[in-house]
Chains A and B, each alone.
Chain A
Amino acid sequence: MSACQSQPNAGSSCSTGALPPAAPFTLPEGATPLIVSDSVVSKVGAMLAEEGDPNLKLRIFVTGGGCSGFQYGFAFDDVAKEDDLCVSAGAIGILVDAASLQYVMGAEIDYEENLEGSRFVIRNPNAASTCGCGSSFSV
């Protein structure tokens, strides 16, 4: 948190862009690519049941942008790409493309619900710093 710099007008200048081309990425042998919490399995399971498409999976991706340089994205996807890693957790499947995977390798995916809201969070051992949650501002 302390490494996080305030970004003047970050709200409007926060851009989203494609990642630089990734070097071919091979999963290290025996490595756990993603740790998926029980709350993700139950919440995504419930969301997918609502959608009613048995092929739907949770896609996690990384794009350039945000205050700290990269940002995570979450979406549902029913098409797996050639370079996707698919992780099964309980009854759900999670897709991560190779370019994104190198940034989230070994990360823990969690789903938090509290008074402020409900959101997916990533505890990422590769991240040097992260930044607040729209709950941070300057005057």
Chain B
Amino acid sequence: MSLSVTPKAAKQIRKALDQRGGGFGLRVAIKTSGCSGYAYALEFAEAPAAEDLSFESEGVHLLVDAKSLPMVAGTQLDWVREGLNEGFKFNNPNASATCGCGESFTV
């Protein structure tokens, strides 16, 4: 199982890399935080590290370290516009629950 991106996400990744002045690709990292236990983090990557797996999709490179891969295997990264907001969306077949986007709160 690998990681992939949609054409829209690829375009956005290329744009972000250009604005930054280059780079190998994006790293998908997993943090233990957020409402549902885990959170994704995206970072620019200069080069693959020894423990990394590298995937190429739509002409862009995605890196994930081997330990995190089981949690994100098969994930497709999309770039979506929701109302006036836009951002990357992780379509992760391993996720059993996801939670909102900072727009949700209690009083």
Binding site for B on A (CB under 8 A): 1, 3-11, 14, 47, 65-76, 103, 115-122, 124, 126-139
Decide if A115 touches B16 in the complex (CB within 8 Å): yes
Decide if B107 touches A128 in the complex (CB within 8 Å): yes
Decide if A7 touches B97 in the complex (CB within 8 Å): yes
Kindly state the separation between the CA atoms of A136 and B103 in the bound complex, as whole angstroms: 13
Kindly state the separation between the CA atoms of A6 and B39 in the bound complex, as whole angstroms: 12
Decide if A135 touches B34 in the complex (CB within 8 Å): yes
Chain B nearest CB, measured from A25 CB (Å): 14
Answer whether A136 and B38 are a contact pair too, CB < 8 Å, given A10-B97, A115-B16: yes
Binding site for A on B (CB under 8 A): 16, 26, 33-44, 71, 79, 83-90, 92, 94-107
Decide if A139 touches B94 in the complex (CB within 8 Å): yes
Decide if B83 touches A66 in the complex (CB within 8 Å): no
Answer whether A127 and B34 are a contact pair too, CB < 8 Å, given A119-B86, A137-B95: no
Decide if A120 touches B99 in the complex (CB within 8 Å): no
Answer whether A132 and B101 are a contact pair too, CB < 8 Å, given A1-B35, A138-B37: yes
Q: A68-B105, A117-B79 are in contact. List 13 more A-B contacts (CB 8 A).
A: A1-B34, A3-B106, A8-B96, A10-B100, A14-B100, A71-B103, A75-B83, A115-B43, A127-B105, A130-B102, A133-B102, A134-B98, A138-B96
User: Which of A1, A71, A121, A135 has the most CB atoms of chain B within a 10 A radius of its CB?
Assistant: A135
A and B contact pairs by CB, cutoff 8 A, 10 listed = A6-B97, A7-B35, A8-B96, A11-B99, A65-B104, A72-B105, A115-B43, A131-B99, A135-B90, A139-B95
Residues of chain A within 8 A of B71, CB atoms compared: 139
